[in-house]
């Protein structure tokens, strides 16, 4: 697999990373540990060097899982984790006080069984803590060698500029895909101007763009898609047209819908590195196959025009979560 550089500091990672959240959080029951470790290690075999976790993904359990899988490869991979929620629980609100950031970093170093965090993100902007204080704290942690690179997640342009002025950002992580293109309006131009990489999460629309979900799909208890408006039965039925369109394009390319969706993202900018997540080996192999998908300028134009003609139905977050975005 080829590599890409995130940010002007030149953090080099595989052009597709692996989002590890779903292995223990957010999508119903946690994956069996042995299976989860095997999946992460298979990703390494396939050339993945970029792995994403967070304190909020089961309060350290996800980080510990990532550590167990990646310990044998620690100096060959880049591990990103995040701070920013009260007690590491997203539903309790945000907390990026400097003392809390330091506490989370010490915990993450322990859970990850490592001496440094390669990329540390603020998970969501905290309106109660000046961004200068957040960035200044991370800057100190970088000076101490505990953190190598700084990033933000789901932050707006103002927060990005304020953070970057104190401690240069290596990456922004936010949702971006064929069915969530808002970052194109202001975020991507700002990142390009400042030399900041972009790491799209949910690049497959939380699974919807794979074609494996339809109006009849029943999500497991604890799967957060149960409360996402875009995943209501009515909206899934309306949005099926998008998946059908993607499937027809994929058939012409002798690829799968997921591969075309990821290939489209990779073609947008050379500093974009999507992090699709999965709990299944065959899906991992399918997703990583997207690195071989080449879309011409004409094909990209046709995809854009076709998708623009089909409005997506439903909000991507319930309101209480949307309130934390783009500050």
60 is a domain residue: yes
26 is a domain residue: yes
pLDDT band at 317 (very low <50, low <70, confident <90, very high): confident
Question: How confident is the model over 10-31, as pLDDT tens digits?
Answer: 999 999 999 999 999 877 778 9
Note if the pTM is more than 0.85.
yes
Q: How many residues does the chain have?
A: 327
d(CA 109, CA 67): 10
73 is a domain residue: yes
Q: Are 109 and 76 in contact (CB under 8 A)?
A: no
pLDDT band at 198 (very low <50, low <70, confident <90, very high): very high
121 as an active site residue: the answer is no
298 is a domain residue: no
Mean pLDDT of 63-84: 98
Report whether pLDDT(324) > 90: no
The whole-number pLDDT of residue 174 equals 96
139 is a domain residue: yes
281 is a domain residue: yes
Q: Annotated catalytic residue: which of 57, 111, 121, 176? A: 57
Dihedral sign for Cα atoms in the order 245, 247, 250, 251:
negative
Residue with tokens 């025009």: 305
Segments forming the whole domain that contains residue 137: 3-206+265-292
CA 19-310-262 angle, to 5 degrees, is 25
The whole-number pLDDT of residue 227 equals 87
138 is a domain residue: yes
Our count of domains for the chain comes to 1
Task: For residue 249, give both structure tokens.
Answer: 């394009």
d(CA 149, CA 145): 10
299 is a domain residue: no
**Cα radius of gyration rounded to whole Å, the chain:** 19
Query: Which CATH number fits the domain that encloses residue 175?
Result: 3.20.20.100
3-state secondary structure of 309: coil
């Amino acid at each position: 697999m080829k590599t890409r550089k995130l940010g002007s500091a030149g953090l080099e990672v595989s052009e597709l990373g692996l989002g590890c959240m779903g292995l223990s959080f957010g999508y119903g029951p946690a994956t069996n540990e042995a299976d989860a470790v095997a999946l992460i290690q298979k990703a390494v075999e396939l050339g993945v060097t970029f792995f994403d976790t967070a304190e909020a993904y089961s309060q350290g359990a996800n980080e510990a899982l990532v550590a167990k899988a990646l310990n044998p490869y620690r100096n060959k991979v880049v591990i990103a984790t995040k701070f920013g929620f009260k007690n590491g629980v997203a539903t309790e609100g945000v907390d990026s006080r400097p003392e809390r950031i330091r506490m989370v970093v010490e915990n993450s170093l322990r859970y990850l069984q490592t001496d440094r965090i390669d990329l540390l993100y603020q998970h969501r902007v905290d309106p109660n803590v000046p961004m200068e204080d957040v960035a200044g704290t991370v800057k100190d942690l970088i000076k101490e060698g505990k953190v190598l690179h700084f990033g933000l997640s789901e932050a707006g342009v103002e927060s990005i500029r304020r953070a970057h002025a104190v401690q240069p950002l290596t990456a922004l992580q936010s949702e971006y895909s064929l069915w969530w293109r808002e970052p194109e309006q202001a975020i991507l131009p700002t990142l390009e101007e400042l030399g900041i990489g972009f790491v799209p999460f949910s690049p497959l629309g939380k699974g919807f763009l794979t074609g494996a979900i339809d109006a009849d799909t029943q999500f497991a208890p604890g799967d957060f898609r149960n409360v996402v408006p875009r995943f209501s039965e009515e909206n899934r039925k309306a949005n099926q047209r998008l998946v059908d369109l993607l499937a027809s394009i994929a058939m012409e390319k002798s690829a799968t819908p997921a591969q075309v969706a990821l290939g489209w993202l990779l073609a947008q900018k050379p500093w974009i590195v999507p992090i699709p997540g999965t709990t299944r080996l065959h899906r991992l192999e399918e997703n990583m196959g997207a690195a071989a998908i080449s879309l011409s300028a004409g094909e990209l134009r046709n995809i854009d025009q076709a998708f623009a003609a089909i409005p997506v139905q439903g909000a991507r977050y319930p309101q209480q979560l949307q309130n934390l975005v783009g500050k």
